[in-house]
Amino acid sequence: MDNFRFCSPTYFAFGKGTENDAGELVKKFGGTKVLIVYGGGSVVRSGLLDRVENSLAAAGLEYTSKGGVKPNPLSDFVYETLDDLKSGKISFDFLLAVGGGSTIDTAKAIAAGAVYDGDFWDFYEGKWIEKALPVGTVLTIAAAGSEGSGDSVITKVEGMLKRGASGDGIRPKFSILNPELTQTLPPYQTACGMTDIIAHLYERYLTNTKDVEVTDRLIEALIMTIVHEAPRVMADPNNYEARANIMWAGTVAHTNVAGSGRSQDWNSHNIEHELSALYGCAHGAGLAVVMPAVFTYCMEHDVTRFAQIAVRVWGCKMDFYHPEVTAKQGIEALRNFLISIGMPSKISDFGGKKEDIPVLVDKLVNGGGRNGSISGFVTLDAKACSEIYELMF
């Protein structure tokens, strides 16, 4: 196991009705003037925004609410809010995101930019986020894990570059997790969320660090939880217990507790981010297509690792003479599971075209300060990335 530092300071309030504690929690973490950030309106329609605003008012807090964050969130919302803050049009000392990963990531970007003199995009080109205004979240979809992570993903409008930023400064102070809030999700979004959670686990499983049994086992348990709960929640979207297990698995999957002490992959995420930036597909839907292609391409790098997950998670029988057969069966089992919950299996399912491959590859390996390749479990140059995109048709 590698040396590591791990700090997951987020205070989690989990369960029914916890959104009504938003005011108390903002106060607990020092907020006095709150900017509530939300998305395209699902929280208005469900009445959640009203409940959160009432909770803040009851706690005697000032607040302003600003909606309109789009899925795969764009930099213009962040720039506009920061301009309004710096010109004195609005003022706030606490960000409260009410929504999914896109809303939370936008709140984190504003929080980091609010205490930084330069362009907030510097963070998305690699600058570590040490300081930010405090952020709280009320989560409405189990997916991105942003409610417990030190990460934020934004797409810059010029060039449509989708990039991540990281730092302890943007880990949420608190996150409210009420599984009931996810019951209004369309089945497709529920499935996209579960796919993203599985991807966060696979990206940590694919490691070059030896002897990481504790985190291997944590990851396997979390993936098996999603595989167990998926058919239950797809059959009955109001199944509270299934929603609860999925929600907590999604948060734990991305706090990095299961990734500590081991090198990680993230090639699938980087390859996917170009798809959601270009085609506007849901991040999870993109990952459903990307993962089997990347894993097939990279399998030979460590056949034993792929065979291990095939046996332990997918119940495949170990072929000791031909471990590559077992490894392939595991990748096939993952693909079939994703198809069973309604995820796409080909890039063309969301508009991908072969002639776009050079553009996708160029942005992937050269855009935003990258130097001709991406690196994780294996290093992938332009030729490798091009071959991986070909596998998705």
* Footprint of ligand NZQ (CB under 6 A): 39-43, 71-72, 99-103, 105, 140-141, 143-146, 149, 151-153, 181-182, 184-185, 189, 193, 196, 254, 269, 283
Report CA 51 to chain centroid distance, whole Å.
Answer: 26
Smallest gap, in angstroms, from Cβ of residue 197 to Zn ion? 8
For 228, the token pair is 């167990």
Q: Where are the alpha helices (DSSP H) in 146-237?
A: 187-205, 213-235
Smallest gap, in angstroms, from Cβ of residue 57 to ligand NZQ? 22
Residue 182 near which of ligand NZQ, Zn ion, none (CB within 5-8 Å, type-dependent): ligand NZQ
Q: Which is nearer to ligand NZQ, 247 or 392 (CB)?
A: 247
Check if the beta carbon of residue 13 is closer than 8 Å to that of residue 172: no
Binding part of the chain for Zn ion, among 22-30, 195-203, 259-267, 289-297 by CB under 5 A, reads: 195-203
For 337, the token pair is 């599971």
Smallest gap, in angstroms, from Cβ of residue 211 to ligand NZQ? 27
Report CA 379 to chain centroid distance, whole Å.
Answer: 22
* 196 is a contact residue toward Zn ion (CB under 5 A): yes
Q: Which is nearer to ligand NZQ, 186 or 315 (CB)?
A: 186
Smallest gap, in angstroms, from Cβ of residue 82 to ligand NZQ? 19
Report CA 133 to chain centroid distance, whole Å.
Answer: 21
Residue 263 near which of Zn ion, ligand NZQ, none (CB within 5-8 Å, type-dependent): none
Overall residue count recorded for the chain in this entry:
393
Q: Which is nearer to ligand NZQ, 100 or 134 (CB)?
A: 100
Residue 25 near which of ligand NZQ, Zn ion, none (CB within 5-8 Å, type-dependent): none
In 90-245 the beta strands, taken as DSSP E runs, fall at 94-99, 135-139, 151-156, 161-166, 174-177
Ramachandran area for residue 339 (φ above 0: left; ψ -120 to 50: alpha; else beta)? alpha
In angstroms, the CA 193 to CA 189 distance is: 6
Contacts of 88 (CB under 8 A, 6+ apart): none
Q: Which is nearer to ligand NZQ, 14 or 318 (CB)?
A: 14
Residue 277 near which of ligand NZQ, Zn ion, none (CB within 5-8 Å, type-dependent): none
Q: Which is nearer to ligand NZQ, 21 or 151 (CB)?
A: 151
Smallest gap, in angstroms, from Cβ of residue 44 to ligand NZQ? 8
Measured over the CA atoms of residue 274, residue 278, residue 282 and residue 287, the dihedral's sign is: negative
Query: Which residues bind to Zn ion, rule: CB under 5 A?
Result: 196
